[in-house]
Amino acid sequence: MRKTVPFVITLALIALSTGCDDQPAKGGQGALGGAIKVVTQKVELQAVVDEIQALGTANANESIEIQPRVSSLIERVMFEEGQLVDKGDLLVELENSEIVAGLALAEASLSESRSLYSRSKSLANTQAISVSNLEQLLAQVQVDEAQVEAAKARLSNTVIRAPFSGRIGLRRVSPGSFVSNSTIITTLDDVSTIKLDFSVPETFLTVLSEGMKITAYSLVYPDRVFSGSVASIDTRLDPVTRAVQVRAIIPNNDGALKPGMFMSVDLRRERGNQLLAPEQSIVPEGSRQFVYVVADGVAEKRAVQLGRRIPGFVVISSGLEAGEAVITEGTHKVRDGSQVEEPGTVSAQGNVRPDTT
């Protein structure tokens, strides 16, 4: 037993010595009391641009199918396929002999009723005609006047004019063809301006605004960029896709774009210069957000208010100033007031654009 006692005491001393050596340094420092190595990055004011990409369909500014309002035979076709016409230009004349005869009959009837009413009215003062008979004659005059106006309207419907300026499409009838109010004679499109309709997810509603600039691209013209602006935003979202319909206006003076073309759309809105910090520098604690700011080799824990998030960055609403350095790597090792060592400070450069594809 006497031989084992010194050995046990020796082991106890070794264990005590080892336990003392393994204790961490106070103040969050390293084992030898040195500064903690971290990576920092300066927060800077950067130009933020909102960009959205979508797919859309080109539509004419105005587009109609030319159809007659009365059933008749086509007497003359006054347009050529693909022709540019102005508002009010004559396009088609329909056979109208029967309608002209009906108008003449109505006018003759009106003339007779007016004459009879005039003669009877002169006799009213002598009481040779009753007041009720005179009122019936006046009513007949009014009926005949209405019939004349109706006949004139039917006659005007035999002449088809362009309701707006545009380009005529393919002709689908020939002179002598019988047409009714369901017959499509041709089409008329105003393509001087193109309406580009596309859908945008509801998550981007705060980004959209009337007047927002867009650029559009077509596979037909791979080297050409079409510029326009948002004209209107639908008041309702699609309950299935949860997307809102947007309409943009694109000038098309040379007629390169055609209704029905498929186009890709880029929307862009400048948000000005905003203070951005790297996402990895944010330290959440409950409902609050913090960063570690480094100044003169000392880490300071500071509360910040966050704005919108951008891939890789977050907008700082308050709590930081431009040019301050925040820790991006090593936040889990430091505490408020820790001594830190910066191997190198990284400075973010260039505009930041949200990746909203």
pLDDT tens string, the chain, 357 residues long: the values are 444 444 333 333 333 344 444 444 444 454 445 788 889 888 888 877 777 889 999 999 999 999 999 999 999 999 999 999 999 999 999 999 999 999 999 999 999 999 988 888 877 666 667 778 888 889 999 999 999 999 999 999 999 999 999 999 999 999 999 999 999 999 999 999 999 999 998 878 878 889 888 999 999 999 999 999 999 999 999 999 999 999 999 999 998 999 999 999 998 777 778 898 999 999 999 889 999 999 888 999 999 999 878 888 888 989 899 989 999 998 888 899 989 887 754 444 444 444 444
Is the domain 28-48+273-347 a CATH 2.40.420.20 member?
A: yes
Q: What is the pTM of this model?
A: 0.60
- In three-state form (DSSP H/G/I as H, E/B as E, the rest C), the secondary structure along the chain is CCCHHHHHHHHHHHHHHHHHHCCCCHHHCCCCCCCEECEEEECEEEEEEEEEEEEEEEEEEEEEEECCCCCEEEEEECCCCCCEECCCCEEEEECCHHHHHHHHHHHHHHHHHHHHHHHHHHCHHHCCCCHHHHHHHHHHHHHHHHHHHHHHHHHHCCEEECCCCEEECCCCCCCCCEECCCCCCEEEEEEEEEEEEEEEEHHHCCCCCCCCEEEEEECCEEEEEEEEEEEEEEEEECCCCCEEEEEEEEECCCCCCCCCCEEEEEEEEEEEEEEEEEHHHCEEECCEEEEEEEECCEEEEEEEEEEEEECCEEEEEECCCCCCEEEEECCCCCCCCCEEECCCEEECCCCECCCCC
Domain 96-157 fold is Helix Hairpins (1.10.287)
Domain 68-92+161-184 fold is OB fold (Dihydrolipoamide Acetyltransferase, E2P) (2.40.50)
> Which pLDDT score, from 0 to 100, does residue 203 have?
79
Residue spans per domain, the chain = 28-48+273-347, 52-60+192-269, 68-92+161-184, 96-157
